Amino acid sequence: MVLILFKLLVTDVDGTLLDHNSKLSELNIKALKDCIKNGIDVIIATGKSINSIMFIIKKLDLKLPQITLGGAVTVTPEKKIINAIKIPPTLYLDVIERVREKGYEPLVATIDGLVYCQQYTEPMKHVIAVGENIIKADNIKSEYFVNDTVSISIPINEKDPLDLFIRQTYQDKLQVVRSGEYFFDILNLNSSKGNALKNLATELGIKKEEIVSFGDSHNDISLFKNSGFKIAVKNSYPELLEIADVITDTNYNSGLGKAIYKYVLNKKVAIY
């Protein structure tokens, strides 16, 4: 008989649950399904939109609300919005102006999980590569975007000078977090995976110590802080490795599935 210590498993997607080709391994599928069979609910916590993770939700037949767009939008598998935290209009317009002054084009995500750009640029290929659909908009400074945007993203790596500029300019005004090598996200100060998880756990009556989480990036730090047991894949950023309780194999070697059987379900399987 398996002794279950957890009631909820929360996992990041890119770099954690999926491999480098954005594929879901058979071991990870089996492990997560076994969690559900053993009474452990599963929630996805991602910087991506609900639309880009629907294939995971359907594959695992997930029932609970999911944490999307870095914690800005909590939404059910049926796409009913449970909570959405928008970027204040004045700050939204200011960010768009400053980003463009620096010669970059931003991506913006609205409360319904759709991702837009006004002008496509070559670096946006990194966003498309992980399954996001980018819609071309006539004017992202129109009233709709000003009032309903939850996330502004710029496909730059951490060495790009715009990274530091945005962090310094909007310190204490907006949440600035990196969710991958070319995923630089700007959110409401109250938006984070951790805050979204904390709210969901309260609604579900689940204690912090009953939550196990998996991650690899900076935006998973808040997730770890609101979980009882924290597992980082080996390919994680150093900052996450430092605070993890356990470091498992890489995302491309089904580290999540391996850790589930060893630390969550406490049993071995033939394909482990």
Strands 115-117 and 107-110, how do they pair?
A: antiparallel
- How many whole angstroms from its chain centre is CA 83? 15
Distance CA 48, CA 34 (A): 25
Task: Reply yes or no on whether the pLDDT at 267 is more than 80.
Answer: no
DSSP string, 185-246: EEEETT--HHHHHHHHHHHHT--GGGEEEEE-SGGGHHHHHT-SEEEEETTS-HHHHHH-SE
Report DSSP state, residue 263.
I
Residue 145 pLDDT grade (very low, low, confident, very high; cuts 50, 70, 90)? very high
Contact in structure between 191 and 70 (CB atoms under 8 Å): yes
Could you give all domains of the chain from N- to C-terminal order, each with its CATH number?
Answer: 8-84+192-264 (3.40.50.1000), 89-188 (3.30.1240.10)
| pLDDT surpassing 80 at residue 164 | yes
The residues with which 8 forms a beta bridge, in sequence order, are 41, 211
Q: What pLDDT is stored for residue 98 in this prediction?
A: 97
pLDDT by residue (tens digit) across 27-65?
A: 999 999 999 999 999 999 999 999 999 999 999 999 999
- pTM comes to 0.93
| Coil vs helix vs strand at 121 | coil
pLDDT digits 0-9 by tens, 100-130: 999 999 999 999 999 999 999 999 999 999 9
Long-range own/partner contacts, residues 139-145 (CB < 8 A, 24 or more apart): 140/96, 140/106, 140/108, 140/116, 141/93, 141/96, 144/110, 145/92, 145/108, 145/110, 145/116
pLDDT at residue 271 greater than cutoff 60: no
Using DSSP, state whether 180 is helix, strand or coil: strand
Tokens of 153: 């993203």
SS (H, E, C) 70-99: HHCEEECCCCCEEEECCCCHHHHHHHHHHH
**pLDDT reading at 272 higher than 90:** no
Using an 8 Å Cβ cutoff, are 2 and 34 in contact?
Answer: no
Q: What backbone phi and psi angles, to 5 degrees, belong to 170?
A: -110, 20
pLDDT recorded at residue 5: 85
Residue whose token pair is 């962090």: 167
